[in-house]
Amino acid sequence: MITGCIKKESYSIVPQISFLEFDKVYETGQYPINGILSISYQDGDGDIGLDPADSFPPYQRNGPYYYNLVLTLFEKQNGVFVQINDSIPFSARIPVLTPDDPGRAIKGYIVDTIPLYPPPPYDTLKFEVFLYDRALHKSNVISTPDIVLKRK
């Protein structure tokens, strides 16, 4: 009898994310209507994601943990990036990623569509991004490169 072992991947229980790419989606105009943000993630205990029913503290609407993928918008104004507190929420609720096998290490990709229309007054922006897991561990914070909106 031959036995083999598959090495289980081991990661920190604090999620880690990395920037992959940001694509712009144009229709016919000079400015994109959407952006597509792609990031990679890894988490040692696989507790990334929220169920639709997760609406009680600490995940209540208007609370700091309602969104588990948190995006902050910055516009480049006169050569300096300025944080924009917009009424449009760019953050998102990522669904549970391991519904059948909780507690195991996971890694993968998250792709999020971000509305970019109507265009902001300045044509260069960037996002800072981080992720909360269900235990409220905050991932590292990443930034997108400069995103120039206007077509040349």
**pLDDT digits 0-9 by tens, 37-92:** 999 999 999 999 999 999 999 999 999 999 999 999 999 999 999 999 876 689 99
Within a domain: 2: no
Average pLDDT over residues 110-123: 89
Within a domain: 10: no
Within a domain: 102: yes
pLDDT > 70: what percent of the chain?
93
CATH label of the domain that carries residue 91: 2.60.40
Within a domain: 94: yes
Q: Where in the sequence is the domain holding 64, given as residue range(s)?
A: 16-148
- Confidence (pLDDT) at 100: 78
Provide the whole-model pTM: 0.89
Nearest to 99 by CA among 38, 42, 40, 50: 50
Within a domain: 105: yes
Spatial CB neighbours of 71, under 8 Å, sequence gap ≥ 6: 37, 90, 91, 92, 112, 114, 127, 128, 129
Please state the domain count of the chain.
1
**pLDDT digits 0-9 by tens, 128-142:** 999 999 999 999 999
Distance CA 117, CA 96 (A): 29
Within a domain: 5: no
The neighbouring-strand residues paired with 16 are 42
